[in-house]
Amino acid sequence: MVGMAFIHPVLQIVHAQIILYCYMNNLPYDITRTIGKGIPGISTSTTHEEARAIDFSVRGWTDKQRDNFVKEFNDRFKSIAAISAKSKVPVLAVDHKGTGWHIHIQIRRDIPTMSNEELNKLLRRVKWLN
């Protein structure tokens, strides 16, 4: 398993937001997957192989907490989300079973170059941070 140093920099910024969200909402947070080969019969995309995805466990989260997280992060990060293999629309956070319940976070392959100003604008849309 390769560490976070090889994860796409924009994904690392999103990841920091996830940690903060979990801290602010008193939710357990455990990474279960970063970079790696697809799992035959389970993986539906190459996002993990391309360092554009991370998974974390939602053990200890209620259905409502999962729904709230997915809704908020999909709304906030639509502009950098990967296109869903299933729905064909940009989706950052996917709540799914795989080898165990987890949330899959994925970013686009072709993220446009972002200025520091644009990045900060993206991060400031945080109602629980103001």
Amino acid at 104: H
Amino acid at 129: L
User: Are 48 and 24 spatial neighbours (Cβ–Cβ below 8 Å)?
Assistant: no
**Least Å from the CB of residue 87 to Zn ion:** 16
Nearer to Zn ion, 46 or 120 (CB): 46
User: Are 106 and 94 spatial neighbours (Cβ–Cβ below 8 Å)?
Assistant: yes
Nearer to Zn ion, 76 or 104 (CB): 104
**Least Å from the CB of residue 79 to Zn ion:** 20
Q: By Cβ distance, which residue is nearest to Zn ion? A: 104
Q: Count Cβ atoms below 10 Å from residue 91 Cβ, excluding itself.
A: 21
**Least Å from the CB of residue 106 to Zn ion:** 7
Sites of contact with Zn ion (CB under 5 A)? 53, 55, 104
Q: Count Cβ atoms below 10 Å from residue 64 Cβ, excluding itself.
A: 8
Nearer to Zn ion, 18 or 53 (CB): 53
Amino acid at 60: G
Nearer to Zn ion, 9 or 100 (CB): 100
**Least Å from the CB of residue 48 to Zn ion:** 6
CA angle 96, 78, 107 (to 5 degrees): 60
